[in-house]
């Protein structure tokens, strides 16, 4: 039997509003699921945000993307995308190249090492998602997705 958020966080008083309880429940759920993802990626030496960047660049294909395009596509907002890309480049999972016409424009592409890492992570990540949310079933998952989309639309 699932426990209530109040029980999980050992809160003795009622929430100030239903909206507050819903928001805190979203945050708690994201933290719990995100922690499991971070733990799954630890043996591979990357974070969930770095994984997200690698997936974005794999999806972009050989054309790659500039820093701002990567930033716009990230699931979680990060304060310094340049440093994030620096770390991935140091790990040789991405490569960056300055444009010949406009030297300010830097294209970022995933390397073959980055692609190999994602290939290693594809199946375990899919299985982790199934373990975390598969028990909800397709109909409830679709409802959850729709509700979260509606909540973001007003955010």
Residue 67's contacts (CB-CB under 8 Å, 6 or more residues apart) are 81, 82, 85, 106, 108
CA-nearest of 77, 75, 76, 53 to 65 is 53
78 pLDDT higher than 60: yes
Instruction: Note the pLDDT of residue 14.
Output: 87
Instruction: Note the pLDDT of residue 10.
Output: 85
Is 1 part of any domain? no
Q: What average pLDDT does the structure give for the chain?
A: 93
Residue 83's contacts (CB-CB under 8 Å, 6 or more residues apart) are none
Confidence of residue 1 (pLDDT cuts 50, 70, 90): low
Confidence of residue 113 (pLDDT cuts 50, 70, 90): very high
Query: Each residue of 81-110: pLDDT tens digit?
Result: 999 999 999 999 999 998 767 667 899 999
Quick check: 119 and 73 in contact, CB under 8 A? no
Is 74 part of any domain? yes
CATH number for the domain including 122? 1.10.10.10
Is 8 part of any domain? no
Domain region containing 110: 17-154
- How many structural domains comprise the chain? 1
Is 4 part of any domain? no
Is 124 part of any domain? yes
CA-nearest of 122, 153, 145 to 51 is 122
Pairing state between β 65-66 and 106-110: antiparallel
Is 27 part of any domain? yes
Q: Is 14 helix (H, G, I), strand (E, B) or coil?
A: coil
Query: Each residue of 115-133: pLDDT tens digit?
Result: 999 999 999 999 999 999 9
């Amino acid at each position: 039997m699932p426990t209530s958020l109040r029980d999980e966080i050992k809160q003795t008083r009622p929430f100030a509003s239903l909206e507050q309880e819903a928001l805190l429940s979203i945050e708690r759920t994201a933290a719990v699921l995100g922690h499991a993802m971070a733990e799954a990626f630890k043996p591979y030496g990357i974070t969930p945000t770095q994984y997200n960047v690698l997936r974005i660049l794999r999806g972009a294909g050989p054309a790659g993307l500039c820093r701002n395009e990567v930033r716009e596509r990230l699931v979680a907002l990060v304060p310094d995308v340049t440093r994030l890309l620096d770390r991935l480049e140091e790990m040789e999972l991405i490569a960056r190249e300055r444009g010949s016409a406009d030297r300010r424009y830097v294209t970022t592409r995933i390397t073959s090492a980055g692609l190999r890492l994602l290939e290693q992570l594809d199946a375990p990540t899919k299985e982790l998602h199934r373990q975390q949310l598969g028990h909800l079933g397709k109909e409830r998952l679709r409802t959850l997705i729709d509700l979260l989309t509606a909540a973001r639309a007003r955010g």
